[in-house]
Structure 1
């Protein structure tokens, strides 16, 4: 239908129920989280965990992760939000940073693991494939909101009309960086699932380490193409964090390979 009406953008609101609206952004986030939880529950017995362990962790981590994603974004955009405090909680219009969610989620995971006497690397290994898939889906919320895009390009003829139309922003086609990251996250998800079930030499924590390296590389590259990066002076914050993830992931693999005991 969009081919008949060029440059017709998608509506951010998926469903309107009286004064209440359900945004596509929220649908993608919740759907991705639900799939991630289901995957972790299926894998939990292999690490001697229960479904209750996963559900209890998610009930704590998911809402705090959303708060962390928004807080991270607001902090680095404080010049705007200090002048518009009423917009601070308006995450449904976009404006969340996955790194904020990951940081808060990691803190919750280590505290939760300590109190449940679960090895944190086991919990990380079974959750990160689902996290990668959730990230892949979540980027389509950015697509609907027309955010997380890149520089101006002449055309996007290699893409379907519905993506081309949505990437026509302020009179120009924009590089669909959301799509590149979504594809990268999905490939990472597939690789982790394959590695987890096919490679017998995988050690505890190495699926998590692979996630850090893979996502760090994908995000570093894609962030360099974006025009809406959160900045700290001249530096793109997410690129610095991506580099840290890559080095931590490599370091974890080296540590696990040289460690002689579990």
Structure 2
């Protein structure tokens, strides 16, 4: 009998068991404790917002995520880890009661409910890598095509914002994976776009699916052989500057 692949949260929690709270991560300035604090802050806020909508009350809002995370960062790490698992289960149950196509005022980031679910799945997949780096279970979740498609649909403005800062030149490049659409990255007149397009045959950066999502989020796999470039040095540098992530 076929066994369902682990969810992103289950894969994250399994990896987290072997990570001490003060281990450094791929997130600048954050140890594992701060990564968990950020995730608990997010799942509990979404739970509060979804519950408020279902109860017909006002939804809590966040003006500054860094400020919201501070009380969570001050918590005992064991408590945080318990709250992460319980909070994610609570959030999932609440979101399942909502129309996945609906954009609900005061819930999440102005995305349809189904995109919020995908966003949190992606958060767990990417932050898992931030904790433990490259491994086969992580590659499996990062390679899920629906996560890349979510980023392209919903996050291009935020994912490209840092790399676009102060640049107005025109640029485009493709990141290619065998058997999948090309990821087209464009910058023009100070604005950037992402698109999944039919595969081309021109120069491109080639990567496996998991590595491609990491590149989009401003990260690089530990093994440089997983990413190969046919671009000129200046084009590759510009692409790397664009894909700086959050």
Whether these two folds match at TM > 0.5 is no
Give me the TM-score of the superposition, normalised by structure 1. 0.28
Give me the TM-score of the superposition, normalised by structure 2. 0.29
Instruction: Flag the structure with more relative contact order, 1 or 2, with Cα contacts below 8 A and sequence separation at least 6.
Output: 1
